[in-house]
């Protein structure tokens, strides 16, 4: 069985790279995008995405683009969705109902728990949780 694939969408390359590297070290296939256009391109070219981790509002794109991206992912029940923000979610606005919310800053264990809550494959989730507790 191939490793689950996670897409991290965040305008801050340091966070996206840290999350990508941490998840890759746990055996996941992790991709990252810093812009709306890059994220949409990866959605189109990576049919095996299991979970998308997306910033609630991508400041390098317009709010309309962020909303469209979240709606596009939110309407695709085939993949999990984790939405991250440094602002209280009450200030973020409308999010897809099924989105798992994760406040910044977060550590790897919190990210893994959010991926599991978003519906990451059960066997992959167990393996991730075991490695995050070491």
- For 48-93, the DSSP string reads TEEEEEEESS-TTS-HHHHHHHHHHHHT-TTSEEEEEESS-HHHH-
Asked whether the beta carbons of 120 and 27 are under 8 A apart, the reply is no
Q: What's the pLDDT at 103?
A: 96
- 134 within some domain: no
**Full domain range(s) for residue 116:** 5-129
Number of domains observed in the structure of the chain = 1
Residue 84 sits at φ, ψ, to 5 deg, of: -110, 150
- pTM for the model: 0.86
Structural domain contains residue 96: yes
62 falls within a domain? yes
The answer to whether position 123 is within a domain reads: yes
**pLDDT at res. 93:** 80
User: Could you tell me if residue 110 is inside a domain?
Assistant: yes
Return the SS3 of 102.
strand
Q: What is the CATH number of the domain that holds 74?
A: 3.40.50.2300
Strand pairing category for 5-9 and 29-33: parallel
Residue ranges of the chain whose pLDDT lies below 70: 1, 58-67, 122-123, 125-134
Helix (H) or strand (E) holding 16: helix 13-25
């Amino acid at each position: 069985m191939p490793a689950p694939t996670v897409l991290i969408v965040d305008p801050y390359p340091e966070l996206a790279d840290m999350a990508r590297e941490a998840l890759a070290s746990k055996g996941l296939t992790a991709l990252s995008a810093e812009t709306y256009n890059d994220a949409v391109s990866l959605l189109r070219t990576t049919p095996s995405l299991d979970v998308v981790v997306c910033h609630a509002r991508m400041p390098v794109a317009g709010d309309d683009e962020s909303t469209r991206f979240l709606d596009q992912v939110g309407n695709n029940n085939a993949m999990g969705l984790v939405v991250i923000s440094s602002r209280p979610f009450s200030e973020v606005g409308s999010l897809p109902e099924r989105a798992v919310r994760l406040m910044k800053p977060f550590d790897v264990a919190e990210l893994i728990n959010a991926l599991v809550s978003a519906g990451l494959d059960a066997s992959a989730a167990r393996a991730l949780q075991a490695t995050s507790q070491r």
